[in-house]
Structure 1
Amino acid sequence: MTTNTTTDVRTTIGESQPDGDSDTAESADSTVVDSATRPTNRWTGVTAVALLFGAVGILVTAPALLLASVVGIAYAAYARIGRAPDPVLSIARELEADDPEPGEQIRATVRIRNEGDELLPDLRLVDGVPAELVVTENVPRHGTALRPGETETFSYTVTARRGRHEFEPAIVVARGFTGAVERVQRVRVDTEFRCSPAATAVDVPLRSLTVPLTGRVETAVGGEGLEFYATREYRRGDPLSRIDWNRWVRGDDLTTVTFREERSATVMLVVDTRAAAYRRPDETARHAVDRSVEAATAALDALVEGGNSVGIASFGPRRCWLPPGSGPDHRATARRRLTIDPAFAPTPPESSMSLLRVHIRRFRSRLPPDSQVLLFAPLCDDDIVRVARLLQADGHPVTVVSPDPTGRDTPGGRLAAAERSVRVSTLREAGVRVVDWPPGESLAATTAASQRRWSP
């Protein structure tokens, strides 16, 4: 995993400046995305009120009102001559994370230094925390005043989640003494970190479709193996160690013991990455695609360890396809794809899947003929149900691992949960195995419970 832990930036309004001295470990150039001034409307109505006081003071001959009018007009004139400052800042962001795992707390520290010659009486900064990271301690914003050469530091804590996370541009707001006008700029500070899924293998039982290579998928075929399968009539050339000598001693004919063969399988791990799959029970919970990628990674580890040939694919507008393979190098490549490939990004795609039928047809044509499919999908709509049934009809045994993204606290959530239950039942009636994975429960426990319900 790669972590860019520290970034240094020096900016002026409208242009980038060369980096200055910094005590940070690394530095990178900055880019001012945009810069603009805008009125704050802080003094709105002061002129009108002052003139009103003056008019009333003249009519009723009240010196106090006339004095208040003069003071108000003076403040209004003062506000009009105010201007937004031109800050020259050095901003550094540091992440205290070498190799974070999902759920780990990461402390982010931001340093702001006034490199210019002008006093900044009112400076505010909002850090660009990635959308999928939840701030759990303090806040990613800070307000201060900075004299020339002065440095201010603030920090906050976020919870790491799977994937590649790039920080958004920081928003800097600078106001002068009057506060009538402010300068706003968005400054991109290139900082990112990657969080790989936890290395936890979960054995999802495969279907009987196998290839004639040694593996761990039990078959209904007698041969080499460890578990007793049946006995058959002795044939010339059978190993002596496989002869049932006990039966021969009892006077029966010679018989040979056979064992249940364990073969390898070709498996495609398919993750539903359409925008419809990025659902979550509430705003702070993990969305279904994140949980699906976690489950796919766990299944990948178990399947490769079992000697199976495994590929990965996304089903969505952002495409990823890794043909089936085996071995440690292929496993590392697949894990890296699941971590950093844009197809499995923590944020939903901006575009929707157009020409769904064409996409389904192309997807079906790429599947190896002897493969079975582990589909990771929250079953949020009927389209993905149709895909699973078509793959099953094509001769690819399908097992669906479905993280439940629905909530039960609102009428809309309960309706969505009822519709999803109907889709689960539809797939099971079509012969598709479904692992219904509720939030708050481990995948291993859910898989074990589902396996007990499946017929052998």
Structure 2
Amino acid sequence: MSSPVPDPQLGDPRASDRRASPGEPIDRTTGRWRGVTAFALLAGALGVLLSRPSLVLAGAAGVLFGAAARTAGPPSSSLGVEREVARERADPGETVRVTVTVVNEGEALLPDVRVVDGVPDGLTVANGSPRHATALRPGKRATFSYAVRARRGAHQFDPATVLLRGFTGAVEREVAAPVDPPSEPTDASTATARLACAPRLDEGSTVPLGPQTTGFAGHVSTDLGGTGIEFHSVREYRPGDPLSRVDWARVARTGEFATRQFREERAATVFTLLDTRESAYRAPAPDAPTALERSVAAAGAVFTALLAAGNRAGIAAWGPTAGWLHPGTGSEHRARARGLLGTHPAFDPTPPERTFLPTIARRRVERRLPANAQVFLCSPLVDDPPADFARRLDAHDHRVTVLSPDPTATDTAGRTLAAVERDRRLSALRGAGIRVVDWGDEPLDVALLRADRRWSV
């Protein structure tokens, strides 16, 4: 649940170290009338000394009011909360309306009701406020709404936090109220307390691939002669060769039949492997996207471009949680990839909390990789294990391309040193013959085109 921000109208739910859990309310004093009794006694004493009946009466009233505040109990917590999310799925950056209704299900007046809805950590409030204050007569309800901005991932709303105070305000009750679905949901709404946001898989990127291919036809040029477009070589004519491939100029010149061969184009099997370890959640600034977020965006673009070119594409996670999509083609395969990148726990927008051994995760990936698969390794390269993994894959005859979003900055000496270390790893990989795409602030297409030109030299 998002940490509540202190609000002069709604109070601060963090005033106590304890927090309410569903079914377990917490009662505490607010300290609103602290010192009233002492002040009232002082006023009464002054009234007696100065023979001022008005001060004596005011002091007596203060003592009675202070005593009543001290003996007041917490208000009844018979309150119902309903939440309505406008839709269950959204694209990144879209706003989704959330409507919360609070109902007084008891028989007593609730003079002071303060509600803080359980907005997930991964969502930001774009419009309105998830906080509301009101008074409720028995059977009455109050409704408020706000809008959240969708962010990649599966987001679960938490119970709403409710603060109840009586007329004196001396005692408050905090309740983590379970939220029910709306009693009469609209056709456009959902009764779920989840919001799933998957990245868009837009076409447009051109992905440079190596010659490692499968036996299926595709668009990757090979060194094999056969059918294709680009001329490859000439061989002796064999019975059954198509007449369109006979080198008639050679027949006319020498009288010998020969067959022209063209460079075959075949499909490739390519895995986009994402570094999902905790170090992949680095960012150059607090409000900048993390390296993992950029890796997910790059993986979606690469995956879509590969499918559009007739290649077989798969996705894998290298981190504490296994995430795997077998290579395939087609629109259904693309939809599965979007769901995997959007909501699978392996690609969660928040850093993983549990520890793991990178070598175990590495072996898990190596065992499942097809022998003829090329690999696009997306990693910020802020430490050595990704570079070691790339060299290991290359040694196992996988054509490896490292796509590295740059999360470094140079505003401090420590960050400058980290950037220098990252550049050293990039240079070492290039020296080992591994293709590297250093992705800075420019669009991904520009980084891929610049790298492809360098590789073609």
For Structure 1 versus Structure 2, the TM-score category normalised by the shorter chain is: 0.7 to 0.9
Task: Give the Cα separation in 2 of the matches to 1:143 and 1:410.
Answer: 44
- Aligned twin of 1:159: 149
- Which residue of the partner structure matches residue 266 of structure 1? 269
The sequence identity of aligned pairs, in percent, is 48
1:137 maps to 2:131 = no
2:165 corresponds to 1:175? yes
Partner of 1:24: none
CA contact (8 A) 1:274 1:352 kept: no
So what's the TM-score if we normalise by structure 2?
0.82
State the shift of 1:436 in Å.
2.5
CA distance in structure 2 between the partners assigned to 1:411 and 1:114 by the alignment:
58
Residue aligned with 2:456, SS = coil
**Corresponding position of 1:449:** 450
Tell me which residue corresponds to 2:201.
199
1:416 and 1:205 mapped to 2: Cα distance?
29
**Residue in structure 2 matched with residue 319 of structure 1 by the alignment:** 322
Superposed CA offset, 1:84-115 (max 9, x none): 21133332222233652111122222222222
Write the distance in 2 (CA, Å) between the matches of 1:411 and 1:53: 63
The residue that corresponds to 2:407 in the other structure is 405
Q: How does 1:245-264 map to 2 (within 5 A)?
A: 245-249=248-252, 254-264=257-267
Question: What letter matches 1:378 in structure 2?
Answer: P
Whole-Å separation in 2 of the counterparts to 1:412 and 1:157: 39
1:210 and 1:263 map into 2 onto residues whose CA distance is: 6
Describe the superposition over 1:326-375 as per-residue Cα deviations: whole angstroms up to 9, x where unpaired.
3444443333322332212222222122x333332343233222222111
In the alignment, is residue 278 of structure 1 matched against residue 281 of structure 2?
Answer: yes
Once superposed, what is the RMSD of the aligned Cα atoms? 3.0
Whether 1:375 and 2:377 are equivalent positions in the alignment is: yes
Pairing of 1:60-79 with structure 2 (within 5 A): 70=60, 72-79=62-69
Specify the alignment match of 1:361 in structure 2.
Answer: 363
Q: Secondary structure at the match of 1:97?
A: coil
1:390-419 Cα offsets, whole Å, 9 max, x none, are: 222222222122233345556655554444
Other-structure match for 1:11: none
| Counterparts of 1:134 and 1:94, CA distance in 2 | 17
Gaps of 5+ in 1: 1-30
One-letter identity of the residue aligned with 2:130: P
Distance in 2 (CA, whole Å) between partners of 1:47 and 1:220 is: 95
Map Cα deviations across residues 181-224 of structure 1 (whole Å, 9 max, x no partner): 11112234351122222131333222222122211222222221
> Counterpart of 2:426 in structure 1: which amino acid?
V
Q: Out of 362, 385, 388, which is 2:387 matched to? A: 385
Match of 2:6 in 1: none
Q: Secondary structure at the match of 2:289?
A: coil
**SS of the residue 1:37 aligns to:** strand
User: Alpha carbons of 1:75 and 1:426: their partners in 2 closer, same or farther (altered >3 Å)?
Assistant: farther
Q: How does 1:269-308 map to 2 (within 5 A)?
A: 269-308=272-311
Partner amino acid, structure 1, of 2:371: P
The separation in 1 between residues aligned to 2:323 and 2:262, in whole angstroms, is 40
SS of residue paired to 2:211: coil
Deviation at 1:311, TM superposition (A): 2.5
User: In structure 2, what is the equivalent of residue 435 of structure 1?
Assistant: 437
The aligned counterpart of 1:23 is none
Pairing of 1:29-40 with structure 2 (within 5 A): 32=22, 34-40=24-30
Letter in 1 for 2:264: E
Instruction: Give how far 1:380 is off.
Output: 3.0
Are residues 251 and 409 of structure 1, via their aligned partners in 2, closer, same or farther at CA, if it must alter by over 3 Å? Answer: same
Q: Which amino acid aligns with 1:339?
A: G
Letter in 2 for 1:405: P
State the Cα deviation string for residues 217-256 of structure 1 (Å, max 9, x = none): 2222222112x23332432333221123345445686543
Q: Hey, what does 2:396 align to over in structure 1?
A: 394
